[in-house]
Amino acid sequence: MLQSPEYSNTLSLKLSEVLEDVGVNEKMIMKRRRAVMLLENIETVAKRSADVNFTVYCFGSQSEGTTTLGLNSDADILMADHDYNVIQDWSEWKQNKTNLLMIQDENVTPGYCFLQVLRSDEPLFETNIIYADSIRDNKGRILLKNTFLTGIEPGTERHGPANARPETDGYKAVDIVHAFPCYSWQQSASHLQERHSIGGWPTSEMIRNVLCNCCFVVCASSKISTYPELEWRVSTSLGERCFMFNLNITQLHCYVLMKIILKTFLTPQRESALSSFICKTAVFHGIQNTDRSIWRRNNLFTCLTYCLLELLRYVQNENCPHFMIPENNLMAGQLTPVDKRYLLRKISDIIQSDGRCLFQISIDSIGDRLWVKFNTDYVFVTPRVTNEYILSSLFISMAGHISSNTTWLLHFISNGHIVDIKQCFLKLVQYNVHGHRLEQLASRYLLPFLYSTIGSMMVSSDIQQNTVVQFQALKWLSLGLNSDVTSGRLKLASVLYCIGDMDRAEFILRQTENRYNCDIVESVCHCWDHPSSDWSSEFDKKCNELNEDSIHQITSFCVRFVQKEVNCVPRELQYEMKRSTQDDMQHRSIDEELWMNFAVVDSLPFLYFLQYKTYGQLQRHQDKERALCNLVNTTVSGKNLGHRETALNLIGQCMEHENKSKEALQCYMLSLQVRRRNNAAKFHICNLLRKYASRM
């Protein structure tokens, strides 16, 4: 390596500037972390409120803030099932739980374990095989196979312990791992407290925090395991997150660069034994084994070189010791002789290039941006625009999680009794009052949708029983008005329309239309993985100005009515609750199964449809025509609509009201082109043909 100190300092500073330009800066890292932690809590609060005893974690680059648009990192979801209790000591046994004893003996690869099944009624070993995925070993122990949690979910592929959902238009790839939590893993990581550190990292406080968290047991065996069907991997993801959250910006830059180098030079043409986790391990060891004073912006290139040398050492020795469980060799069984020669040559070339290889990186135009920093004043895309796009992506992702979890909760309460609804509601309220900050915020996102649904269900019951609408029902509906820009208000307007209060319905609709700024507000539907368009630049700017608490001010969700709200749904929309034939039901995805018995419609088309109906009742014909024109234009050209076929069905029925049977039939046929199965258009076409035949 021939670089001078001046060259190294200049390259380091320019490299830091480039990384900050592409979104790896302190503001964006904190924004990413907060957003992803909030997503975790939305998922967890929703599930816990419906008596599903899971905690949901979002690990990896997205939660750490160590990714870029060019790296396009997937999302790593871990779902910890607390109905299972993994223990290392009998004192931790719990009654009425599925207790599993962690076994780490000479037959188990370091960093892995066997799980012995225990009885749930008293602290004794289970002597009978009670699970299909369990066996009795030669010592008479009932051991759980690691196939216990490896069912393939619809729409996913198996990638190690994860169900991998591939990337689709507008949706990132997701790896979903089911796991058992274990709160007694300190024995496995006891060496952390004894580890010598040159730079004083990790600190004793960090180590205490790590050991206070749980670890997870996931269904994956070592590559060199003698018992591959019985080994379970010990995952220390929570501890790693704690360490990552305590790195400074230069250390984070170094890790991001390691991942970019890995993707650019080491894995473009072949699967490699190296992974981003091994890069992270190299950075951890590099920080621990160096003085903290070297981790400065003007020393980034030297730090990067040091971590690359660490990586080279791993490959040379065919041993990458896990940072928390060093007996676990992350490269065990991974390297072929060909792979080893290839990686040694490539990593050595990168180190000996004295930074020249960095100018060849195409990801995020890192190389070109670096060249510009050295040679001209020309600017690529401004950092502000990049930051805005990242933030708007986070807002849309957060809105998508709110949407999908609301649908999941509505599916839960629509299939239960009124007791289930009350219990779900009370649990959400408890999180809102007694939860920590992010739990409170998560519950505040979800509660307004339940308020509107409970109020609408009460009104629907009153209509069915032909009784006066309860004041309390309207109070519930008013509490749900600010769920987002539109959906809570449209539910109230629909209720008012169905009870015949046209003047108040018209007022709410006019107010909602005035609130919907098409330049800023974005339509969000997460009922199914439909292609989504880029959002507006004004939306991007708003996301940069607002924090996560304000997401309801710039998003518009679809409006969902469960079966028990049927009397608060205009007759034309009620058909959507009966959209499927018996054959159609066989062609529903797992996501579609949650909502296809609902009446669901995008907010803006529903706004104009309700205006069309309301103005018709009020004999305001010019306003009625305007509303119909807006409904047609929105349905044809509106972006990010998740239920365009439903909007076309509504237009078709409007055309029938206008005695335009031909246009109505065209709308229904267009609707079938959008969604061939599970579409109420089939019924509308049959009704239209029946009416036509009766007139002949």
Encode pLDDT of 325-378 as tens digits.
999 999 999 899 999 999 999 999 999 999 999 999 999 999 999 999 988 766
Confirm if 585 and 539 have CB atoms less than 8 A apart. Answer: no
Which tens digits make up the pLDDT trace of 194-243?
A: 677 787 899 888 888 888 888 999 999 999 999 999 999 999 999 999 99
SS3 230: coil
> Can you read off the two tokens belonging to residue 376?
């001209």
Q: Is the peptide bond before 605 cis (omega within 30 degrees of 0)?
A: no
Mean pLDDT of all residues in 126-147: 92
Mean pLDDT of all residues in 164-169: 56
Query: Looking at the domain assignment, is residue 692 inside a domain?
Result: no
Of 458, 438, 448, the C-alpha closest to 485 is 448
* C-alpha distance from residue 158 to each of 151, 163, 219, 288, 681 (Å): 9, 5, 12, 35, 37
SS3 577: helix
Mean pLDDT of the chain, nearest integer: 90
Distance, in Å, from the CA atom of 334 to the CA atom of 142, rounded to the nearest integer, reads 30
Query: Looking at the domain assignment, is residue 220 inside a domain?
Result: no
Query: Looking at the domain assignment, is residue 373 inside a domain?
Result: yes
Query: Looking at the domain assignment, is residue 215 inside a domain?
Result: no
Query: Looking at the domain assignment, is residue 61 inside a domain?
Result: no
Query: Looking at the domain assignment, is residue 299 inside a domain?
Result: yes
682-692 core/surface letters (b: 16 or more CB in 10 A; e: else): bebbeebeeee
Mean pLDDT of all residues in 527-544: 84
Has residue 458 got a pLDDT over 50?
yes
Q: Which DSSP symbol is given to 186?
A: T
* C-alpha distance from residue 412 to each of 421, 459, 579 (Å): 8, 20, 20
Domain at 360, CATH number = 1.10.1410.40
Distance, in Å, from the CA atom of 623 to the CA atom of 612, rounded to the nearest integer, reads 8
Has residue 180 got a pLDDT over 60?
yes
Query: Looking at the domain assignment, is residue 267 inside a domain?
Result: yes
Looking at residue 530, what is its pLDDT?
A: 76
- Local confidence band at 152 (pLDDT 50, 70, 90 cut-offs): very low
Has residue 679 got a pLDDT over 80?
yes
Sign of CA dihedral 565, 567, 573, 577: positive
Helix 300-317 × helix 5-21 angle, to 10°? 90
Please report, rounded to a whole number, the percentage of residues in the chain having pLDDT higher than 70: 93
> Can you read off the two tokens belonging to residue 399?
């809105």
Q: Which residues contact 112 (CB under 8 A, 6 or more apart)?
A: 104, 221, 222, 225, 231, 232, 233, 234, 328
Has residue 270 got a pLDDT over 70?
no
Query: Looking at the domain assignment, is residue 457 inside a domain?
Result: no
Overall number of domains in the chain: 1
Q: Which residues contact 567 (CB under 8 A, 6 or more apart)?
A: 459, 460, 461, 463, 464, 498
Range of the domain at 374: 1-24+247-380
Residue 52: count other Cβ atoms within 10 Å of its Cβ: 16
SS3 641: coil
Q: Which residues contact 270 (CB under 8 A, 6 or more apart)?
A: 339, 342
Mean pLDDT of all residues in 608-618: 98
Mean pLDDT of all residues in 399-409: 93
Of 388, 431, 434, the C-alpha closest to 409 is 431
Distance, in Å, from the CA atom of 529 to the CA atom of 527, rounded to the nearest integer, reads 7
Residue 610 has, within 13 A of its CA and on its CB side, a CA count of 36
Looking at residue 634, what is its pLDDT?
A: 97
Has residue 171 got a pLDDT over 60?
no
Q: Which DSSP symbol is given to 468?
A: P
Residue 270 has, within 13 A of its CA and on its CB side, a CA count of 12
